[in-house]
Each structure stands twice: as structure tokens, then as C-alpha cells.
Chain A
Amino acid sequence: MKLTGAQILMEVLKEEGVDSIFGFPGGATIDIHDNVVKTDMHHYLVRHEQAAVHAADGYARVSGKVGVCIVTSGPGATNAVTGIATAYMDSIPLVIICGQVPTHLIGNDAFQEVDIVGITRPCTKHNYLVPSVEDLPRILKEAFHIARSGRPGPVLVDIPKNVQQGVTNYKPNQKVRLKSYNPTYKPNAKQLQKVVDLIKSSKRPLIFAGGGVLLSKGADELTRLARSTEIPVTMSLMGLGAFPGTDPLSLGMIGMHGTYRANMSSGECDLLIGIGVRFDDRVTGKTDCFASQAKIVHIDIDPTSIRKNVPVSVPVVGDCKSCLEILNTLLEDEDLEAMKARRRPWMEKVETWKQQYKLAYAQEDEIKPQFVVEKLYELTHGEAIITTEVGQNQMWTAQYYHFDRPRQFVTSGGLGTMGFGLPAAIGAQVAFPDALVVDVAGDGSIQMNIQEMATAMQYKLPVKVVILNNCYLGMVRQWQELFYDKRYACTGLEHAPDFVKLAEAYGAVGFKATRPDEVEAVLRQGLETPGPVIMDFRVSREECVYPMVPAGAPITEMLLV
């Protein structure tokens, strides 16, 4: 059938099962948007292109589907770059459709022209400038295939206006053929046998799970492995939810703000099984000292991640879920009880660490931010989908909200993008309209994309925003306090808006708490009020996130309070 480029785009989106799109129109996407509204797809008009990408990203993280957004050329496309880089760092499958000036104007400095393919080359898994309408169906199918397969990631497709308007014959459901792209899903059986042998012989094993477990949908297999072998599990920030946070074997998060038990365990284990992690510097601290007594097993679908940051004894390239399934099968033949008995002293030691330094804070006259997160956990029964902004709010959420299931915690781990949480919450709410979605924010971060309250209002997306308001860029202030003689250079945010009135200005509801005894009531009211809500908690100004490992130090050398 003969279709225009814009119509072909709609056909492919339907074939790929896309039902929700986040976008912002412009001159270069008029044809596309004109066709979007002719379909039964839902288009969410955001207020800033960065938010369109974060919303698609939040949607993808909670649903496991490919997120889709549409932005116009030039400034629309460049505004999207932060969102694209965020998704790239966290391996989130996205397809970003950009409008572009007509092909005959490309390279002429035309109005709203920018080389977005060049700009996003280092922060996309792959990207395309579509040269002609004939190439469009193939490129779009490839884009979805690349975005969701292997190690997922964002793929950008830049479509010139004349390609959107051009007409060609369209054949539905074309097969993707990419001779150079064949991700390794199936692991090498011999390598996995080596892992089993190491598990058998180790006396102090530790599992370190990351976002790759969630992306491969391997959380159940991980839980089975840990429980059957009784190996304690620590998680990276991106891995929270890959193993139930309330399970006795869970050691919580590892790294710069990881728990005492997790960091100490990594220092003393003799086997560390890293699954779907990339040994980020925020996790390892000083790499020479990281897991220095351990043989390291690294399971990852992306060979470039293996041996990038730490030496690895047994590399396994493959899909995390498949690897875990095979490991579980191989372990069925082993004497698990004898293994567990041998490791009793290790488990006792881990338990001692667990009891020795628990995450704690002292509740005083002022509201402690940790208290707000703890109460939020209690009142939502740990069931809410939680997004965060970036900074102290993010770390307190990771520490005090215990995530029991996959895709429940949505945060910008790799890039650390302030302004991520609210649009990501909007995307998550679109994916699960009936879920309770809460964005835990700082007063600094929330001001980076607060305009998205209007999007939440327009589409009746009842996201709740919890602001831990300390009138500071808190994490930087914390570093200044600890390592820069308390010179709080440029981190004071004294002139903040009245967030209650700001909520009201958007037509939403706002609440404020200034005393500890108001916290529970405000949270209850906020969570029970229909529609979008902002809750402003005026917390203790100089509270720090502990434990903390100074950047570049071994992760077993923690500042505990």
C-alpha cells in the first residue's frame, strides 16, 4: 500500500505495540503529530523535551516495553539530549523520533537545523538520519530491534520533513536483518560450570546484583539462586528490587552510600558473583581494594562491561536470566546442605555486621528526611512505584524504602540526572494508571522540571511528589561540609518558591509539614488526595547521608555518622 513517511511511522509503531507516546511538536514534526492524533495511540504533550524522554524512560523502566518519544528538530532535539544520555547510561530501551529539516536544506544552517545524529552519537546505542522515505520502514524496525535487544539502550531516528511527507509502497512486518549485530544471549556452558565449582568451593560467597538482572527479567531466578544456596545478596542502586529488600539474605545497597554490612561483606568475601553490573566507581570505591580477597565472576550480556573496571576470574557473556536459569539447574545436582553448613561462620559474620551498624538517624525537633522516607514506606506498605530525583533524596530513598519487587524503583543511576523524577513518575503512571506513583525529590532537583506538573494535571495522572526540602543542593553541600571546610559555595537555595502555592498554581493540591509530628498526617493526606499532589517537608537543613565512603577510598572505609 502507498503511504507517506508519517503514516509509515504510525504503522510501525502499531506493529511494535506502542500505545503511549511522549512528545512536543514543532514545525518539523507537524506531519507526524497530525497522524498521531488520527490513531488510537495516546500522545502526552509534555512541557519540555527533556521531560518527554524522561517520561518515555520511566514508562520503559516500569513496563519493560520500549519507550517512545517524538521531538522536533533543532532545539527540540538538543533539549532531548540529557534524557537520551540518562537512558543510555542506565541501558533503557527507547526510540526517540526527531523531526529534521528537509534533506535539501541539511547542512545549510537552515532554521532549526542541528546535526542531532552527530550530537547524540556518543550517547545512543545507535542512531539514524533517514535518507529517503524508502529507507524509513527498515530503519524504524531496526531501531526497535536494536533498542530492546542485547544490552538495551536508546536509539534515535532523525526523520527529515520531506521524508515524512514522501510517499512509498509499504510492506508491513518487515524482518530485521543486521549482519553485524548478534548479541550473545546463550552463555558458554563451561564457564557456568566454573561458576558452580567456585560456588561449591567458596567459604565466603557474595552475590552482587545490578540493573541487568531487572532488564533481563531475571529477578525470580536470582532469588531462587540466592535462597537455594544461601548466599547473601547486595545490590547496586540500579539493582534495587532485583532481590527482595526485606529478605533476610538481602544486605541492601553497596557502594558510596551502601550499608555497612554490604560494604564489609564485599571486602571480606572470597567469591563475588557480579550479575548485570558494571562495577561503577560509586560501587567499587578504590578499585585496587575492591573485593581484594575474592575471585570475581562477572555475568553480563555486554562484553565491554567485563574487565572494564575490575579484574575478573570467570567472565560469562550472556543474558542474565538465561545464565541464572542454567546456574540453578546445575546447582540442583549439588549437595546444597553441605555447602550451607560449611558457610555457617560466614553467615554469622554477615549477621554480626548486620546488627552492628544498622542504618539509623536521630529524630530531633526538626524533621529528619530519613523519617519521611520511612513513614512513606510504612504508609504505602512498600507497594508504591517510587521515582527519585538525584542527590541526598535519592540515597535516602534507596536506603530507607525497601524494594521487594522488580521495576518498583525508578532512578537515574548512571548519569545522575536532576529533574528526572517527576517526568519519570508521569511515564510510570501512564504505564500503570492504577498504581500509586511517588516521586521523592529534593528542593533543588524538583525545580529542574517542575513545569511537568502541568502535564500531570492535563492528563489526570495522580503522581505524588514528596519534597525533602532543606533549602540546599544537599549532596554537594554534604561534600563541602566534609571535605571543603564547610565552605558552602553556591549550594544555598534560599529563594525557593512556596511549593504549596506552586502546586495550587498548576491546579494541583499542596501540603506542607514543618514539624516531625506533622509528617504522618501530611503524608496520609497527600497520598489520599486524588490527582497530582506536592508535599513539602521542611527537613533538617544540614542532615547528611551516612554511611559515606569518600570518593576514591576503599569502600570498607566508611564514615558512619
Chain B
Amino acid sequence: MTEEKHILTMLVDNEPGVLSRIVGLFSGRGFNIESLCVAETIDPKVSRITIVTKANEPLVEQIEKQLRKLINVIKLRDLTGSGSVQREMALICVRAKPENRDEILRIVDIFRCKVVDVGVEYYIIEATGSVEKMKALVNLLKPMGIKKIARTGTIALFREPH
């Protein structure tokens, strides 16, 4: 059975140990996590967790059921295939030799990123967008020399009706 990427977003109690319960469920049952984001929502008692996982249909059904079974999971939604907005953010530290600087700034402009820090030899670029956009950006910057990269993984929200 083919594996597909699934974006699971859930509202959970904002309490110590809740994330560990969720991550433990994945590791204990041999499910894989591709990326995971978590932060408080507008209600400080509730956090939103977004998990990207790759699984076949029966497995993702099992993952969702197991997650729903956890006492601290208030609501869960699989955003795969539904109308949703998905973004990722990255901070990329790239080597900025004098001969490359113009090229880097052009790329930053085209990808609508921002240079947020300038050092003697390095720029730190802030980028947001889809996973594909991040990949393309990283591919273009790679030849210049990426020293460090920090990515958030996907966050996603269901698109409300217009």
C-alpha cells in the first residue's frame, strides 16, 4: 500500500507532558514523524500541534484513532487533501563572499525572503513558504555554502469558507 504524506493538526491541553504523550505514541507504535510544530494558541490553556507523517491509509487511520484516544487531545484534523494553508519558516546562514553577495540578494528578492543578519562573511536569511519553496531556495543557496539551517517544519490551518 502506498505511503502518503499526512498533515495532522490538533488542539491539545497546554500542560507539561502532553507533547511527550503524543510523541511517545508515535515512537511506541513505530509511526514516523517528519516534522512537528507546537505552540500556544490564543487560549493559553490550549496548544496547537502540527505533525507531518508519512503512512499508508490503514496506518494513518490507526494513528488518528490513537491520537483521539489520548485524554489531552481536544480536537484532531487531517488536513491532507482538504483546503488548507501550509507554511514553513527557515533561517539560513549562507556564506556571502563579495562575488556572491549580489546573487544572494537577487535570490532573496525573488523568493521574497529577508536578510535578517549581516556578518563579515555570512548572511542570515529568513524565509517562509511552502515546503517546495524552501527546497528550491536551499538548492539555489547550496552552491554558495550553507553553514547552518534551522527549519520549523510545516504549520497548517484549515481554510475557512470564503
Contact B61–A307 (Cβ < 8 Å):
yes
Q: Does B21 contact A (CB under 8 A)?
A: yes
Cα–Cα distance between A122 and B27 once the two chains are bound (Å): 10
Contact B65–A304 (Cβ < 8 Å):
yes
Contact B74–A180 (Cβ < 8 Å):
yes
Interface string of B9-29 (1 = CB under 8 A from A): 000010011001100100010
Q: Does B56 contact A (CB under 8 A)?
A: no
A103 to chain B, nearest CB (A): 12
Q: Please name all residues of chain A whose beta carbon is closer than 8 Å to the beta carbon of B28 when the two chains form the complex.
A: 122
Q: Which of B24-82 contact A (CB under 8 A)?
A: 24, 28, 58, 61-62, 65-66, 68-69, 71-75
Interface string of B112-155 (1 = CB under 8 A from A): 00000000000000000000000000000000000000000000
Cα–Cα distance between A302 and B68 once the two chains are bound (Å): 11
Specify the chain A residue showing the minimal Cβ separation from B27: A122
Q: Does A111 contact B (CB under 8 A)?
A: no
Contact B71–A126 (Cβ < 8 Å):
yes
Q: Please name all residues of chain A whose beta carbon is closer than 8 Å to the beta carbon of B62 when the two chains form the complex.
A: 304, 307-308
Q: Please name all residues of chain B whose beta carbon is closer than 8 Å to the beta carbon of A180 when the two chains form the complex.
A: 13, 71-75
Q: Please name all residues of chain B whose beta carbon is closer than 8 Å to the beta carbon of A146 when the two chains form the complex.
A: 71
Q: Please name all residues of chain B whose beta carbon is closer than 8 Å to the beta carbon of A326 when the two chains form the complex.
A: none
Contact A304–B66 (Cβ < 8 Å):
yes
Q: Please name all residues of chain B whose beta carbon is closer than 8 Å to the beta carbon of A181 when the two chains form the complex.
A: 71
Q: Please name all residues of chain A whose beta carbon is closer than 8 Å to the beta carbon of B66 when the two chains form the complex.
A: 304
Cα–Cα distance between A122 and B30 once the two chains are bound (Å): 13
Q: Most chain-B Cβ atoms within 10 A of its Cβ — which of A122, A129, A180?
A: A180
Cα–Cα distance between A180 and B14 once the two chains are bound (Å): 13
Given contacts A117-B17, A122-B24, A122-B28, contact A304 B69 (CB under 8 A): yes
B33 to chain A, nearest CB (A): 16
Q: Which of A85-144 contact B (CB under 8 A)?
A: 117-118, 121-122, 125-126, 129
Q: Which of A293-349 contact B (CB under 8 A)?
A: 302-304, 307-308
Interface string of A367-389 (1 = CB under 8 A from B): 00000000000000000000000
Cα–Cα distance between A180 and B12 once the two chains are bound (Å): 9
Q: Does A489 contact B (CB under 8 A)?
A: no
Given contacts A121-B24, A129-B17, contact A307 B58 (CB under 8 A): yes
The dominant DSSP class at the B interface is: helix
Contact among A117, A129, A178, A304 for B71, CB-based, below 8 A: A178
Q: How large is the interface on B (under 10, 10 to 19, 20 to 34, 35 or more residues)?
A: 10 to 19
Interface string of A139-183 (1 = CB under 8 A from B): 000000010000000000000000000000000000000111100
Q: Please name all residues of chain A whose beta carbon is closer than 8 Å to the beta carbon of B20 when the two chains form the complex.
A: 118, 121
Specify the chain A residue showing the minimal Cβ separation from B25: A122
Q: Please name all residues of chain B whose beta carbon is closer than 8 Å to the beta carbon of A302 when the two chains form the complex.
A: 69
Contact B65–A121 (Cβ < 8 Å):
no
A27 to chain B, nearest CB (A): 24
A280 to chain B, nearest CB (A): 16
Cα–Cα distance between A179 and B12 once the two chains are bound (Å): 11
A298 to chain B, nearest CB (A): 13
Interface string of A256-282 (1 = CB under 8 A from B): 000000000000000000000000000
A224 to chain B, nearest CB (A): 31
Q: Please name all residues of chain B whose beta carbon is closer than 8 Å to the beta carbon of A129 when the two chains form the complex.
A: 16-17
Q: Please name all residues of chain B whose beta carbon is closer than 8 Å to the beta carbon of A308 when the two chains form the complex.
A: 62
B111 to chain A, nearest CB (A): 40
Q: Which of A170-201 contact B (CB under 8 A)?
A: 178-181
Q: Most chain-B Cβ atoms within 10 A of its Cβ — which of A117, A125, A178, A304?
A: A304
Specify the chain B residue showing the minimal Cβ separation from A306: B65
Specify the chain A residue showing the minimal Cβ separation from B65: A304
Interface string of A476-487 (1 = CB under 8 A from B): 000000000000
A114 to chain B, nearest CB (A): 15
Cα–Cα distance between A179 and B71 once the two chains are bound (Å): 9
Cα–Cα distance between A335 and B145 once the two chains are bound (Å): 79
Q: Which of A450-509 contact B (CB under 8 A)?
A: none
Q: Please name all residues of chain A whose beta carbon is closer than 8 Å to the beta carbon of B68 when the two chains form the complex.
A: 303
Specify the chain A residue showing the minimal Cβ separation from B21: A121
A406 to chain B, nearest CB (A): 26
B23 to chain A, nearest CB (A): 10
Cα–Cα distance between A180 and B75 once the two chains are bound (Å): 7
Contact among A117, A122, A303 for B65, CB-based, below 8 A: A303
Specify the chain B residue showing the minimal Cβ separation from A183: B69
Cα–Cα distance between A1 and B75 once the two chains are bound (Å): 37
B68 to chain A, nearest CB (A): 8
A134 to chain B, nearest CB (A): 15
Contact A179–B74 (Cβ < 8 Å):
yes
A505 to chain B, nearest CB (A): 42
Cα–Cα distance between A252 and B24 once the two chains are bound (Å): 38
Cα–Cα distance between A121 and B66 once the two chains are bound (Å): 14
A368 to chain B, nearest CB (A): 42
Specify the chain A residue showing the minimal Cβ separation from B73: A180
A154 to chain B, nearest CB (A): 13
Q: Please name all residues of chain B whose beta carbon is closer than 8 Å to the beta carbon of A122 when the two chains form the complex.
A: 24, 28
Q: Please name all residues of chain B whose beta carbon is closer than 8 Å to the beta carbon of A304 when the two chains form the complex.
A: 62, 65-66, 69
Q: Please name all residues of chain B whose beta carbon is closer than 8 Å to the beta carbon of A117 when the two chains form the complex.
A: 17
Q: Please name all residues of chain A whose beta carbon is closer than 8 Å to the beta carbon of B71 when the two chains form the complex.
A: 125-126, 146, 178, 180-181
Specify the chain B residue showing the minimal Cβ separation from A179: B74
B81 to chain A, nearest CB (A): 20
B28 to chain A, nearest CB (A): 5
Q: Please name all residues of chain B whose beta carbon is closer than 8 Å to the beta carbon of A125 when the two chains form the complex.
A: 71
Subset of 9 A-B contacts with CB under 8 Å: A117-B17, A118-B17, A125-B71, A178-B71, A180-B73, A303-B65, A303-B69, A304-B65, A307-B58
Q: A180-B71, A304-B69 are in contact. List 17 more A-B contacts (CB 8 A).
A: A117-B17, A118-B17, A118-B20, A121-B21, A121-B24, A126-B71, A146-B71, A180-B73, A180-B75, A302-B69, A303-B65, A303-B68, A303-B69, A304-B65, A307-B58, A307-B61, A308-B62
**B interface list, Cβ under 8 A from A:** 13, 16-17, 20-21, 24, 28, 58, 61-62, 65-66, 68-69, 71-75
A-B residue pairs, 9 tightest by C-beta: A304-B65, A180-B74, A126-B71, A122-B28, A303-B65, A181-B71, A304-B66, A121-B24, A304-B69
